[in-house]
Amino acid sequence: MQNTATPTHCPYCALQCGMNLTPVPGGTVEVSERADFPVNRGALCGKGRTAPEVLSSRVRLTSPLVRSAAGELEPASWEEALDRIAEGLTSVRAAYGADALGVFGGGGLTNEKAYTLGKFARVVLGTSQIDYNGRFCMSSAAAAGMKAFGLDRGLPFPLEDIPRTGCVILVGSNLAETMPPALRYLTELKANGGTLIVVDPRRTKTAEQADLHLAPRPGTDLALALGLLHLVVAEGRTDEAYVQERTSGWEDARAAAMAHWPEYVERITGVSVPDLREAVRLFCEPETAMVLTARGPEQQSKGTDTVGAWINLCLATGRAGRPYSGYGCLTGQGNGQGGREHGQKADQLPGYRKLTDPAARRHVAEVWGVDPGSLPGPGRSAYELLDALGTDIRSLLLMGSNPVVSAPRAAHVEERIRSLDFLAVCDVVLSETAALADVVLPVTQWAEETGTTTNLEGRVLLRRQAITPPEGVRSDLEVMHELAARLGVEKGFPTDPEEVFEELRRASAGGPADYSGITYRRLVEENGVFWPCPAAGDDEPDAGARGTGAAAPDTDAEDAALDVLPDDPAGDGEVPGHRGTPDGHPGTPRLFLDRFATEDGRARFVPVSHRAIAEEPDDEYPVLLTTGRVVAQYQSGAQTRRVDELNAAAPGPFVELHPRLAARLGAAEGDPVAVVSRRGRAVAPARITANIRPDTVFMPFHWPGEGRANTLTNPALDPTSRMPEFKACAVRLEPVEP
Ligand SMILES: Nc1nc2c(c(=O)[nH]1)N[C@H]1C(S)=C(S)[C@@H](COP(=O)(O)OP(=O)(O)OC[C@H]3O[C@@H](n4cnc5c(=O)[nH]c(N)nc54)[C@H](O)[C@@H]3O)O[C@H]1N2
Ligand SMILES: Nc1nc2c(c(=O)[nH]1)N[C@H]1C(S)=C(S)[C@@H](COP(=O)(O)OP(=O)(O)OC[C@H]3O[C@@H](n4cnc5c(=O)[nH]c(N)nc54)[C@H](O)[C@@H]3O)O[C@H]1N2
Ligand code: SF4
Ligand SMILES: [Mo]
What would the pLDDT profile of 165-191 be if each residue is shown by its tens digit? 999 999 999 999 999 999 999 999 999
Confidence of residue 583 (pLDDT cuts 50, 70, 90): low
**Nearest ligand, measured from the Cα of 629:** 1
Specify the pLDDT at position 570. 39
**Which residue's CA lies nearest to atom 1 of ligand 3?**
179
3-state secondary structure labels for all residues of 441-482: EEECCHHHCCEEEECCCCEEEEECCCCCCCCCCECHHHHHHH
Ligand 2 atom with the shortest distance to the CA of 699? 1
Specify the pLDDT at position 3. 62
What Å distances lie between residue 327 and 140, 168, 218, 310, 459, CA to CA? 14, 10, 21, 8, 17
- pLDDT top residue among 217 and 25: 217
Ligand 3 atom with the shortest distance to the CA of 19? 5
Domain that holds residue 689: 623-735
| pLDDT higher than threshold 80 for residue 631 | yes
| pLDDT higher than threshold 80 for residue 554 | no
Full DSSP string of 684-726: EEEEE-TTB-TTEEEEE----GGG-GGGT-EEEE-TTT--EET
| pLDDT higher than threshold 70 for residue 538 | no
**Which residue's CA lies nearest to atom 6 of ligand 2?**
628
Our answer on whether the CB atom of 309 is closer than 6 Å to any ligand 2 atom is no
Residue after which a domain boundary falls, among 445, 476, 499:
499
Specify the pLDDT at position 537. 65
Q: H helices within 407-566, ranges in order?
A: 410-418, 476-486, 497-508, 520-526, 556-563
**Nearest ligand, measured from the Cα of 42:** 3
C-beta neighbour count of 24 within 10 angstroms: 11
Q: Round to whole Å and give the CA distance between 163 and 178.
A: 19
The answer to the question of residue 26 being in a domain is yes
| Neighbouring-strand partners of residue 73 | 67
Q: Round to whole Å and give the CA distance between 533 and 351.
A: 11
Q: What is the four-CA torsion angle of 210, 212, 218, 223, rounded to 10 degrees? A: -140
Specify the pLDDT at position 737. 83
| pLDDT higher than threshold 70 for residue 628 | yes
Angle between helices 497-508 and 556-563 (to 10 degrees): 130
Residue after which a domain boundary falls, among 499, 516, 531:
499
Q: Round to whole Å and give the CA distance between 724 and 701.
A: 14
- Closest C-alpha to 256, from 219, 283, 229: 229
319/412 same-domain check: no
Q: What percent of the chain has pLDDT over 70?
A: 93
Our answer on whether the CB atom of 348 is closer than 6 Å to any ligand 2 atom is no
309/426 same-domain check: no
**Nearest ligand, measured from the Cα of 180:** 3
CB of 432 within 8 A of CB of 402?
Answer: yes
**Which residue's CA lies nearest to atom 8 of ligand 3?**
48
C-beta neighbour count of 465 within 10 angstroms: 21
Look up the CATH number of the domain holding residue 183.
3.40.228.10
Our answer on whether the CB atom of 204 is closer than 6 Å to any ligand 1 atom is yes
CB of 351 within 8 A of CB of 507?
Answer: yes
- Closest C-alpha to 284, from 232, 233, 328, 247: 232
321/343 same-domain check: no
Confidence of residue 572 (pLDDT cuts 50, 70, 90): very low
Look up the CATH number of the domain holding residue 42.
2.20.25.90
E strands along 534-671, which residues? 603-604, 623-628, 655-657
CB of 357 within 8 A of CB of 543?
Answer: yes
- Length of the chain, in residues: 738
Our answer on whether the CB atom of 106 is closer than 6 Å to any ligand 2 atom is yes
pTM beyond 0.85: the answer is yes
The answer to the question of residue 565 being in a domain is no
Q: Round to whole Å and give the CA distance between 385 and 414.
A: 13
Q: What percent of the chain has pLDDT over 90?
A: 92
Q: Round to whole Å and give the CA distance between 144 and 718.
A: 12
Q: What is the mean pLDDT of residues 343-361?
A: 97
| pLDDT higher than threshold 70 for residue 342 | yes
Which range (23-27, 561-565, 647-651, 675-679) has the least confidence?
A: 561-565
The answer to the question of residue 197 being in a domain is yes
Q: Which residues of 300-328 are buried (b: 16+ CB within 10 A; e: fewer)?
A: bbbbbbbbbbbbbbbbbbbbbbbebbbbb
The answer to the question of residue 82 being in a domain is yes
User: Quick one: how far is CA 189 from the chain centroid?
Assistant: 25
- pLDDT top residue among 117 and 564: 117
Specify the pLDDT at position 4. 84
In tens, the pLDDT along 421-471 reads 999 999 999 999 999 999 999 999 999 999 999 999 999 999 999 999 999
Q: Round to whole Å and give the CA distance between 135 and 626.
A: 18
- Split into its structural domains, the chain has a count of 4
- Closest C-alpha to 543, from 513, 584, 500, 503: 513
Specify the pLDDT at position 93. 98
Dihedral sign of CA atoms 74, 76, 81, 83 in order: negative
Look up the CATH number of the domain holding residue 667.
2.40.40.20
**Which residue's CA lies nearest to atom 14 of ligand 2?**
137
359/420 same-domain check: yes
CB of 713 within 8 A of CB of 729?
Answer: yes
The torsion angles phi and psi of 349, rounded to 5 degrees, stand at -115, 165
Ligand 3 atom with the shortest distance to the CA of 10? 8
Our answer on whether the CB atom of 677 is closer than 6 Å to any ligand 2 atom is no
| pLDDT higher than threshold 50 for residue 564 | no
365/483 same-domain check: yes
72/195 same-domain check: no
Our answer on whether the CB atom of 137 is closer than 6 Å to any ligand 1 atom is yes
Q: H helices within 625-672, ranges in order?
A: 644-649, 659-665
E strands along 522-636, which residues? 529-530, 603-604, 623-628
Beta strands at 680-688 and 672-677: parallel, antiparallel or unpaired:
antiparallel
The torsion angles phi and psi of 394, rounded to 5 degrees, stand at -105, -15
Q: Round to whole Å and give the CA distance between 97 and 70.
A: 29
**Which residue's CA lies nearest to atom 38 of ligand 1?**
172
Q: What is the mean pLDDT of residues 9-28?
A: 95
Residue after which a domain boundary falls, among 16, 32, 55:
55
The answer to the question of residue 601 being in a domain is no
The mean of the pLDDT values for the chain is 93
642/721 same-domain check: yes
C-beta neighbour count of 507 within 10 angstroms: 27
238/96 same-domain check: no
The answer to the question of residue 589 being in a domain is no
CB of 404 within 8 A of CB of 388?
Answer: no
Specify the pLDDT at position 154. 96
- Closest C-alpha to 506, from 477, 527, 478, 534: 534
199/288 same-domain check: yes
204/70 same-domain check: no
- Which residues neighbour 379 within 8 Å (Cβ) at sequence distance 6 or greater? 99, 127, 128, 129, 130, 131, 346, 347, 385
- pLDDT top residue among 372 and 552: 372
Our answer on whether the CB atom of 333 is closer than 6 Å to any ligand 2 atom is yes
Our answer on whether the CB atom of 303 is closer than 6 Å to any ligand 2 atom is no
In tens, the pLDDT along 242-287 reads 999 999 999 999 999 999 999 999 999 999 999 999 999 999 999 9
- Closest C-alpha to 298, from 121, 428, 173, 426: 173
In tens, the pLDDT along 92-116 reads 999 999 999 999 999 999 999 999 9
C-beta neighbour count of 489 within 10 angstroms: 18
- Give me the amino acid identity at 181: P
In tens, the pLDDT along 601-617 reads 999 999 999 999 999 99
Which range (367-381, 511-525, 563-577) has the least confidence?
A: 563-577
351/425 same-domain check: yes
* Residue 117, CA atoms < 13 Å, CB-side half-sphere: 34
